[in-house]
């Protein structure tokens, strides 16, 4: 079992205990173990092999024994006992935004609700009327949350889908006779969630490759198997699976198929319309005029024949790409990023030291980083009181002098309090190189209140970046209602950057919001919000989101050097 799977087991135990009404100390003890394991930089199995489970934060002797049992056998008796004590379908209700274990327990014990269909029926029938904690506003939120959960069903987050897809792609690429394997579909376009995975392959022996594909590790069910196409269901969690389709193609039609299976429906319809106007037809086999093949071997040939430049996959959504006269040479790329300005260390809720984070960033070719641990109001994240912050800044300055080849800036991710007040006074913020502001608690359903709160932070002369502006967690928590246009206009006016948070859980700003902000003159910053060294590798997901937003190199703050970042900060402070 990997870290995420182990963490989910302990999080589930905490949920069941809370539903049962256990005391908060016991519940939170399991939640702390789940968070420790999930954020662990290394593999939990390696920790177990070294006999060091009990040394992990929040892990005692009894918990270490449970971890060992789970890692050794793949099951945990305690968890299975708990599952027999509550209806399993109750746990699905926890995926609804704003629905915690206490509310689930109330619905179960007082209304007999044990499943999503039963909850929908209870909401629509008015059965919840008068139930404590389920007033008119809460029921309205619940109705919206159910709709959100249903819309997210069957969608896999980009980062998870990419990890699964890459494992399969690399495995297939090693098979004898395979010349090429590529991703297609919404994964290649970089959508924030993916319905299924599409892989295209050039190989000598199609039937043999399809047979090997259908026998891959993790295959839950074979849905189709033929000479040139296979379709399987891959289980990647106990309760999650994703469909994966493979097509084996001849080299002469690979380009046409790659284009066909990559473009969105709207993009491909526009292309076919352009072909039809010329008396041609376009499908996965090629661009043809009767029996004559006009183009098929490469995507570039297809687009060129239709009078278009090659269009990057992330832009193939029919959002203006057909107006391009040439492929954007400066469309943002991973190699353009010079530094990461949002990351955490062991000083708050991170799992690596200042030196370890900086060294890992240096290995990835970065010229600078900014250490931005949480501020004092983020108690759950071990936020720093002012005195601790100043000690931490001194430690950052010392690390900066010690580690050569990379600049380490001292910053903080500061909570935005009510009405836009900052969690530290201005004289403290003035001591920092770079200040990030974000909302972590008290997210309202009132768009005006949320917007006013965010604008208050933007107007602070020491705030340089608004992090994950809508606070969403993809497939888990809805975005905070926010007037993004108003926020973007004020950010542009004051010289405040807005973030594309590259964490696969966030990707916030999302692509449409980032494009709106860019069009309004906002500087965008792309950061990983890393809490461990390996999370620095999530930067590509932020880049993909930025490309979908049509961002160019010059639109992004951290494509510049550290002098550019310092100048950006200074301009706002002076103004």
Q: CATH number for the domain including 352?
A: 3.20.20.140
- Domain identity same for 346 and 220: no
Q: Which CA distances in Å does 203 have to 179, 253, 361?
A: 6, 13, 38
Maximum C-alpha span of the chain: 77
Q: Do the domain assignments include residue 244?
A: yes
Residue 23 pLDDT: 87
Per-residue pLDDT of the chain (575 residues; tens, 9 = 90+): 788 789 889 999 999 999 999 888 899 899 889 988 877 767 899 899 999 999 998 899 999 999 999 999 988 999 999 989 988 788 888 878 778 888 888 889 888 888 888 898 888 888 888 788 788 888 887 887 787 666 656 689 999 999 999 999 999 999 999 999 999 999 999 999 998 999 999 999 999 999 999 999 989 889 889 999 999 999 887 767 889 999 999 999 999 999 999 999 999 999 999 999 999 999 999 999 999 999 999 999 999 999 999 999 999 999 999 999 999 999 999 999 999 999 999 999 999 999 999 999 999 999 999 999 999 999 889 999 999 999 999 999 999 999 999 999 999 999 999 989 999 999 999 999 999 999 998 888 899 999 999 999 999 999 999 999 999 999 888 899 999 999 999 999 999 999 999 999 999 999 999 999 999 999 999 999 999 999 999 999 999 999 999 999 999 999 999 999 999 999 999 98
Other C-beta atoms lying within 10 Å of the C-beta of residue 277: 9
Strand order from edge to edge, sheet including 281-283: 281-283, 286-289, 292-295
Q: What are phi and psi of 276, to 5 degrees?
A: -60, -40
Cα 291 from Cα 472, distance rounded (Å)? 51
What lies within 8 Å, CB to CB, of 566 at 6+ separation is 433
Q: Do the domain assignments include residue 151?
A: no
* Structure-token pair, residue 526: 């792309």
- Domain identity same for 281 and 186: no
Domain of 195, in residue numbers: 156-249
CA dihedral sign, ordered 440, 152, 515, 550: positive
CATH code of the domain in which 80 resides: 1.10.150.110
Q: Do the domain assignments include residue 398?
A: yes
Q: Do the domain assignments include residue 267?
A: yes
Q: Do the domain assignments include residue 98?
A: no
- Domain identity same for 299 and 340: no
* Structure-token pair, residue 166: 């890459």
Q: Do the domain assignments include residue 143?
A: no
- Domain identity same for 480 and 542: yes
- Domain identity same for 312 and 277: yes
Residue 5 pLDDT: 84
Q: Do the domain assignments include residue 149?
A: no
- Domain identity same for 486 and 522: yes
Cα 316 from Cα 471, distance rounded (Å)? 27
3-class SS string, 354-372 = HHHHHHHHHHCCCCEEEEE
- Domain identity same for 351 and 487: yes
Q: 249, 271, 302 — which closes off a domain?
A: 249
- Domain identity same for 319 and 347: no
Domains held by the chain: number: 4
* Structure-token pair, residue 269: 């319809």
* Structure-token pair, residue 296: 């098929």
Residue 91 pLDDT: 84
Contact status, residue 505 vs residue 545, Cβ threshold 8 Å: no
Contact status, residue 525 vs residue 480, Cβ threshold 8 Å: no
Q: Do the domain assignments include residue 118?
A: no
SS3 assignment, position 232: strand
Question: Helix axis angle, 386-402 relative to 354-363, nearest 10°?
Answer: 40
CATH code of the domain in which 260 resides: 3.30.210.10
Cα 242 from Cα 56, distance rounded (Å)? 33
Contact status, residue 383 vs residue 404, Cβ threshold 8 Å: no
* Structure-token pair, residue 140: 């309205």
pTM of the complete model: 0.80
- Domain identity same for 20 and 81: yes
Other C-beta atoms lying within 10 Å of the C-beta of residue 235: 13
- Domain identity same for 403 and 284: no
- Domain identity same for 430 and 524: yes
Cα 116 from Cα 37, distance rounded (Å)? 30
Q: 58, 86, 114 — which closes off a domain?
A: 86
- Domain identity same for 348 and 458: yes
SS3 assignment, position 126: coil
């Amino acid at each position: 079992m990997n870290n995420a799977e182990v963490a989910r087991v302990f999080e589930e135990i905490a949920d069941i205990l809370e539903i049962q009404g256990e005391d908060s100390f016991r519940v939170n003890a399991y939640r702390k173990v789940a968070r420790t394991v999930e954020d662990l930089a290394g593999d939990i199995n390696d920790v177990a092999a070294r006999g060091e489970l009990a040394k992990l934060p929040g892990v005692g002797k009894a918990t270490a024994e449970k971890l060992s049992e789970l890692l050794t056998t793949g099951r945990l008796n305690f968890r299975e006992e708990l599952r027999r004590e509550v209806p399993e379908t109750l746990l699905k209700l926890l995926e609804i935004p704003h629905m915690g274990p206490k509310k689930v327990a109330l619905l179960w014990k007082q209304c007999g609700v044990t499943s999503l269909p039963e909850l929908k029926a209870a909401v629509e029938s008015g059965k919840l009327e008068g139930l404590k904690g389920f007033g008119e506003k809460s029921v309205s939120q619940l109705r919206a949350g159910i709709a959100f959960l249903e819309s997210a069903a069957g969608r896999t987050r980009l980062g998870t889908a990419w990890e699964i897809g890459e494992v399969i792609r690399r495995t297939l690429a090693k098979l004898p006779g395979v010349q090429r394997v590529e991703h297609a579909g919404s994964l290649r376009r970089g959508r924030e969630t993916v319905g299924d995975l599409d892989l295209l392959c050039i190989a000598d022996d199609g039937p043999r490759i399809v047979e090997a594909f259908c026998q891959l590790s993790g295959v839950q069910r074979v849905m189709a198997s033929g000479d040139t196409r296979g379709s399987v269901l891959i289980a990647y969690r106990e309760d999650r699976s994703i469909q994966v389709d493979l097509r084996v193609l001849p080299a002469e039609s690979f380009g046409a198929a790659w284009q066909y299976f990559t473009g969105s429906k709207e993009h491909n319809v526009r292309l076919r319309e352009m072909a039809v106007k010329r008396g041609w037809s376009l499908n996965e086999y090629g661009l043809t005029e009767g029996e004559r093949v006009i183009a098929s071997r490469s995507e570039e040939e297809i687009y060129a024949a239709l009078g278009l430049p090659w269009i990057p996959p992330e832009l193939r959504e029919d959002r203006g790409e057909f107006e391009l006269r040439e492929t954007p040479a400066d469309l943002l790329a991973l190699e353009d990023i010079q530094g990461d300005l949002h990351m955490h260390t062991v000083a708050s809720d991170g799992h690596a030291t200042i030196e370890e984070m900086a060294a890992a960033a240096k290995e990835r070719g970065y010229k600078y980083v900014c250490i931005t641990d949480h501020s004092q109001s983020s108690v759950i994240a071990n936020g720093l009181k002012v005195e601790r912050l100043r000690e931490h800044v001194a430690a950052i300055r010392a690390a900066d002098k010690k580690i050569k080849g990379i600049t380490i800036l001292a910053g903080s991710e500061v909570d935005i309090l009510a009405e836009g007040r900052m969690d530290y006074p201005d004289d403290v913020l003035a001591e920092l190189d770079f200040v990030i502001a974000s909302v972590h608690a008290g997210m309202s359903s009132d768009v005006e209140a949320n917007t006013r709160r965010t604008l208050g932070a933007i107007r602070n002369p020491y705030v340089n970046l608004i992090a994950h502006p809508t606070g969403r967690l993809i497939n888990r928590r809805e975005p905070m209602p926010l007037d993004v246009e108003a926020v973007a206009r004020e950010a542009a006016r004051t010289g405040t950057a807005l973030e594309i948070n590259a964490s696969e859980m966030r990707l916030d700003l999302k692509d449409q919001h980032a494009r709106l902000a860019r069009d309004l003159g906002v500087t965008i910053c792309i950061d990983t919000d890393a809490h461990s060294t390996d999370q620095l590798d999530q930067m590509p997901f932020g880049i993909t989101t930025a490309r979908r937003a049509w961002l160019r190199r010059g639109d992004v703050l951290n494509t510049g050097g550290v002098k550019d970042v310092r100048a950006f900060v200074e301009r706002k402070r002076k103004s």
